[in-house]
Structure formats: C-alpha cells, structure tokens
Amino acid sequence: MTTPLTITGRYDRHMRRALQLAAQTYCSPNPQVGCVIVKDSKVIGEGFHKGPGTPHAEPTALARAGTHAKGATLIVTLEPCDHQGRTPPCTSAIIAAGISKLVYGTADPTHGGAERLRKAGILVERALPTGCDTFLASWLKYATTSAPWVVLKAATSLDGNIAEAKGMRTTISCPEALEHSKKQRNSFDAILVGANTVRVDDPELASERGITRVILGCDIPPDAKVLRDSNALAYCKHTDAAHVSALQQHGAKLVAIDPHDIHAVLADLASRGIARLLVEGGADIYESFLAADAIDELRLYVSPRLLPGGVRAFNKEPGFRLIESRRLGTDTFMRMRRSE
C-alpha cells in the first residue's frame, strides 16, 4: 500500500523559481521541467530540461550542487522519472546524490518515481497547487491520450469580429499584439489555418523554430507563401491531379484525410509527433474546431476598434474560463481554458 503524501506549501517560493526555469525552453514532446535544490535555506543548484536526449532538470541541478546535495531538499515541477530512455532515470541520480527530501509539483502519469524514492528512505512530499498542473497541462494531455493540446488564437475587434467582410483582409491588432502573437508560435509544434485564410491573407506563418505549417483544404495557389518549403501539410480528400502535382512541386505534403474531420486530422498530426497545435483561423476553422469540442485553450487579442457588421469570430460564446489577462499596447490579451 502506498504511503499517503504530505501536501506542503513550505516551498512555494522555490517551486515558483522552478517554474521560471522550466519556462526557459521548449522541449516538445518532452515536458518542460525545472528543478531547485535547497540546503540550509540556501539554493545550491538549479536546472531545467533543454530537450529530448539532453539531461533532465534534476541531474542538471544535482551536478551544479555537487557533493553539497547530500542531505538537501530537491524541489521539482514534475515527479522525477523512473524510466531508462535516452537518459538514465532521474530517481537513480537523486538516490546516488544523497538527497533527503523531494518536493514535486505535478504527478507523472507515465514513469513517476516517487514510490521508488520513498522506498529508498527519501521523504517525499507533494507541493500545494502552485501552477505546475496548469503549466504542464498540454504535456499531460499528450502523454495520457496521445492527442495534441489545441490552442485557438484569434485577433478580434471590441465587438467580436475578425474582419470587416468575408474575404477581406483586415489588420486589427496593434504592433505590440502582433509581435507577441508571432513569438507565441515558438511554443508550438505546428500552426494550422484554413485554405480560405491562405487565399485571402497569403500568410507566411513564420516562426523562429520553423514549425510545421498545416492547411485544411487544398484549394490554394501553388505559389502561396505557406508552401515556401517542405515543412507544410495540406489535408484534402479529393482534388484535381494537376493541382496536386503543382502543390507537391512547391513543397507541400498532401494528406488524404477529409479536412472537415477534425478528430481524424488531429490523430494524424499526433502520429507525426505534434504535441501542441496552434489554430490561427479563420472563422470557419474556428467553428469547426469548436463544434468538434477540440479546443483546449483560447488566446484572444482584443482591439478597442469596432467593426460593425463584420465577420464574427464565434457564432456563440465558447464558454471557457479566464486564466490570464493583460494589456499589450492598445489591445488586451486573454488566455482562457475550457470549463471543467
């Protein structure tokens, strides 16, 4: 029988620091993890995971603590792994270093090692909620369901519209919001738009990481900017053979899946290692994903502008709960997650 965990809030400050460390890099499909080691009320080691195949947060922090780690407390955002993959189990490093207490934020549903550490004589405690579960929500979903975490991003006017008229390109966001939106792409594996958005806006969907660009539908011009290299997927069930050839010559990879079958598209993306997906539009795509109940999080950039009679972003309120709100220039940025 597993010994009940002590729930502690003593290390909130250090756990917040561990979360800051975890956020320094994007390491999909692995979880972002941060670690802090404390002894005699002093931080003696810190670390975070930089990506697949690199040392995990705990061994990195232990290496920096050196021999001082013996008898110390290790605080980590995610329960240490007890699994041999491309790197050794973190539990082995923790035991070998002589750590006396472990405090972790989120339980690992895949290869958690708290029980092994407890059997090795280490005091194991679970931290009070400090944001770890929220921070790791996307990884938890992918790890337990093999489905990507889906974020819908929209820039709207104050009256909830995304364009002055259907088929008309409309810039709504202020420069600060546009820059923030572009940087957000770096924390995703893929970005998705509909064919209509490609035809009207001809977006590059650029990012610093060169993420996969996904188009629902193949009715797009072969010279579209989104097809500038081979890192583009287009989903379409039926299309003209000559058009298919033209798209492929420009680098597109065509997938014979109905673009209206959102769950089939998501399953295919997951099979390609896409753990986090950013949906950028347009209105028909928003409605398709919401109707399929496939959205985990909304990110809205709301301008003070009014666009009376414009194209609605959503036909009805999505019903998500607000988790973050802040100003970006003249606009307001809001993050919302589905209500449980």
Q: Among 137, 93, 89, which Cα is nearest to 112's?
A: 89
**Is 179 marked active-site?**
no
Q: Cα(27)–Cα(57) distance, rounded to whole angstroms?
A: 12
Single-letter amino acid, residue 94: I
Q: Cα(324)–Cα(320) distance, rounded to whole angstroms?
A: 12
Q: Cα(159)–Cα(305) distance, rounded to whole angstroms?
A: 8
Q: Among 153, 174, 159, 168, which Cα is nearest to 307's?
A: 159
Helix (H, G, I), strand (E, B) or coil at 301: strand
Q: Cα(163)–Cα(23) distance, rounded to whole angstroms?
A: 34
Do residues 170 and 164 touch, judged by C-beta distance below 8 A? Answer: yes
DSSP 8-state secondary structure symbol assigned to residue 227:
G
Annotated active-site residue in 46, 58, 79, 280: 58
Q: Among 164, 274, 136, which Cα is nearest to 211's?
A: 274
DSSP 8-state secondary structure symbol assigned to residue 93:
H
Q: Cα(155)–Cα(150) distance, rounded to whole angstroms?
A: 17
CA-to-CA dists, residue 215 to 133, 153, 197, 298, 330, angstroms: 31, 15, 9, 19, 31
Q: Among 57, 59, 64, 65, which Cα is nearest to 21's?
A: 57
Q: Among 336, 198, 222, 215, which Cα is nearest to 269's?
A: 215
Burial of residue 240 (number of CB atoms within 10 Å: 0-12, 13-18, 19+): exposed
Active site residues: 58
